[in-house]
Amino acid sequence: MSANKLNVFHWHITDSHSFPLMLPSEPDLAAKGSYGNEMLYSPADVATIVRFGLEHGVRVLPEIDSPAHTGSWAEAYPDIVSCANMFWWPAESEWADRLASEPGTGQLNPLNPNTYHVLKNVIGDVVALFPESFYHAGGDEIIPGCWKADPTIQSFLSENGTLSQLLEKFVNSTLPYIVSLNRTVVYWEDILLDADVKVDPSFLPPEKTILQTWNNGPNNTKLIVSSGYRAIVSSSEFYYLDCGHGGFVGNDSQYDPPPTSGNSGNGGSWCEPFKTWQTIYNYDIAYGLTPAETKLVLGGEVALWSEQADPAVLDMRIWPRASAMAETLWSGNRDESGKKRYAEAMDRLNEWRHRMVNKGIRAEPLQPLWCIKNPGMCNTAHPFD
């Protein structure tokens, strides 16, 4: 990251699948909710990672996603997690009635006081472990069906309560505490922009809140900054590095489309196709923004979600595509005349990829070696712009 001039590592540490972070105040979360004793991060591990990052100019931003993506918490605290360990999309039900957007159910129950006892212990420990001034609190993909499956929430809804009020209660019980620990809170954009479950902006003070966008490209960035919030841009249409490798859900009919011309389906990958370096390079994260709005964009972030990524494929999934983003964010993707620089960028990225390989980074190849040995011969003379 340092060599590529990337300076923030956003670490999405926990999820419904596993809680691998050992915390002094809540040891059972990792002891019972991780994949096992060999797949844990101790406080000493975290200190090593944070120190290594700072030595190389890279901030380590922790994310403890909640209230959704918390199924793993139920192994230690089943009373605070709604719809835990249920089948994610019951047979014959509509997509709108699913319990999660992928296998691995569970959302913290905002009505249970013990939820906040546990969560504040978690937040306090994480803040102590990470000196970073931002704390990513998640807030994405709250699935109505999961909360509706909980008897206490059913009772709340039957008395004219709403799911958005549940989320507002959750935010109002946690955001002030995070702020009291001298942290700025980062949320995924869903907390403000979701169609079904979202909070009123009055619960999200712009001076203490940053929103990270991952849907609808420049449109959602515009909605965030025009509302006065700072933005981190990780639009899935351009910056999700895990896309295009198929889905991990089995028994999925999306794998079996009719073999008609031009219809190969998406192979179960919700965000296909694969995001090429050109797609990443040509994205302007300030597109359509006024100069004042552009100042609220803190930067961009490529994301490699790890449902289908582990150390065996890590380097090639990230590099050199992340290098392409780094150049555009530091140097822009246009020359002095305003013309896109993607043509000349190919030669730079190709050479840079070989330099990374020589350093032991297993970056993905962009061109045959023949192209480096024959400069210009791998270009096209017919640009489409």
Q: Could you report the per-residue pLDDT of 315-353, keeping only the tens digit for each?
A: 999 999 999 999 999 999 999 998 888 888 998 999 999
pLDDT of residue 160: 96
Active site residue 336: no
Return d(Cα 328, Cα 285) in angstroms, integer: 10
Return d(Cα 321, Cα 301) in angstroms, integer: 12
Nearest to 100 by CA among 85, 88, 82: 88
pLDDT of residue 367: 93
pLDDT at 36 over 70: yes
pLDDT at 261 over 70: no
Lowest model confidence (mean pLDDT) among 141-145, 218-222, 378-382: 378-382
pLDDT of residue 220: 98
pLDDT of residue 265: 63
User: For residue range 46-67, what is the model confidence (pLDDT) as tens digits?
Assistant: 999 999 999 999 999 999 999 9
**First and final C-alpha spacing in the chain:** 32
Lowest model confidence (mean pLDDT) among 27-31, 106-110, 296-300, 371-375: 371-375
| Confidence band for 120, pLDDT divided at 50, 70 and 90 | very high
Answer with the residue of higher pLDDT: 154 or 384. 154
pLDDT at 383 over 80: no
pLDDT at 128 over 60: yes
Environment class of 91 (CB within 10 Å of its CB; exposed 0-12, middle 13-18, buried 19+): exposed
Q: Which of 141, 168, 189, 327 is flagged as catalytic?
A: 141
Contacts of 250 (CB under 8 A, 6+ apart): none
Nearest to 344 by CA among 356, 354, 332: 332
